[in-house]
């Protein structure tokens, strides 16, 4: 276990993306909302593992769910994607600006 | 421990970003290359913990180091940032396109 500063919402977003199963779920949800069984279908894992991954996505702000009758449907939260993208984009731009700067 | 698919280079990038100390290191390196002690200075942790974080950054493709004499200097790898940003941006755009599409 590495020494750590306190977690922030951004770490939680990157942590949620740092797993191939959750990345697949995000890809699927970006196409359309989906039920738990639709999300589980391409993944070779128990329903309880799928639910744990979905909990991580929801806690990070990348997903939300709603229940209508007996069916729970998951949706992507575009704002979560936008927040993570913005952080990386700012860093990348600042590092590229540095390379473009004339050297004295 | 959650059930997992095999790790990919993208997971490693997001994993590297999923920690506030490493995010600070990335921010610092985007401004300019830095030595281990410069990177450690604002962080309240042992040098060995700092080195472990730097190993994670290098293994992910977000950082590289070079040693000149006795000084090891770390650099940001802009391509790593660009790869992570591109993956998120593609997903976000596809999910936004869906909301813009007329419903029949």
Q: Give tens-digit pLDDT for B24-64.
A: 999 999 999 999 999 999 998 999 999 999 999 999 999 99
> What pLDDT, on the 0 to 100 scale, is given for residue B98?
79
Inform me whether the pLDDT recorded for B99 exceeds 80.
Answer: no
pTM: predicted TM-score of the whole model, two decimal places: 0.88
Helix, strand, or coil (residue B70): coil
**Beta-carbon neighbour count of residue B81 at 10 Å?**
26
Instruction: Give the one of B18, B24, B29 whose C-beta lies nearest to A18's C-beta.
Output: B18
Task: Decide if B4 and A21 are in contact by the 8 Å CB cutoff.
Answer: yes
Q: Which of A86-90, B4-8, B30-34, B96-100 has the lowest mean pLDDT?
A: B4-8
pLDDT score, position B19: 95
Contact (Cβ atoms closer than 8 angstroms) between residue B43 and residue B50: yes
Is B8 strand, coil or helix? coil
Tens digit of pLDDT at every position of chain A (104 positions): 566 556 678 999 999 999 999 999 999 999 999 999 999 999 989 999 999 999 999 999 999 999 989 999 999 999 999 999 999 999 999 999 877 766 55
**d(Cα B46, Cα A59) in Å, to the nearest integer?**
30
> What is the pLDDT, as a whole number, of residue A8?
72
Task: Please report the pLDDT score of residue A20 as a whole number.
Answer: 93
Q: Closest to A81 (Cβ–Cβ): which among B5, B17, B88?
A: B88
In the three-class reduction of DSSP (H, G, I as helix; E, B as strand; rest coil), residue B104 is classed as coil
- pLDDT confidence of B66, banded at 50, 70, 90? very high
Task: Identify all chain A residues contacting B27, using CB atoms and an 8 Å cutoff.
Answer: 91
Coil, strand or helix at B41: coil
Which residues pair with residue B85 across a beta bridge?
Answer: none
- Regarding an ipTM greater than 0.85, the answer is yes
**CA–CA min distance B69, chain A (Å):** 24
Would you state the pLDDT for residue A98?
A: 79
What pLDDT, on a 0 to 100 scale, did the predictor assign at position B41?
93
């Amino acid at each position: 276990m590495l020494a750590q500063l306190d977690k922030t919402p951004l770490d939680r977003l990157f942590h949620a993306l740092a797993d191939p199963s959750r990345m697949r779920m995000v890809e699927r949800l970006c196409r359309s909302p989906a039920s738990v069984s639709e999300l589980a279908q391409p993944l070779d894992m128990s329903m309880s593992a799928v639910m744990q991954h979905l909990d991580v996505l929801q806690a990070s702000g990348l997903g939300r769910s709603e229940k209508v009758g007996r069916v729970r449907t998951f949706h992507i939260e575009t704002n979560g994607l936008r927040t993570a993208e913005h952080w990386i984009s700012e860093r990348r731009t600042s590092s590229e600006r540095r390379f473009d700067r004339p050297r004295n």
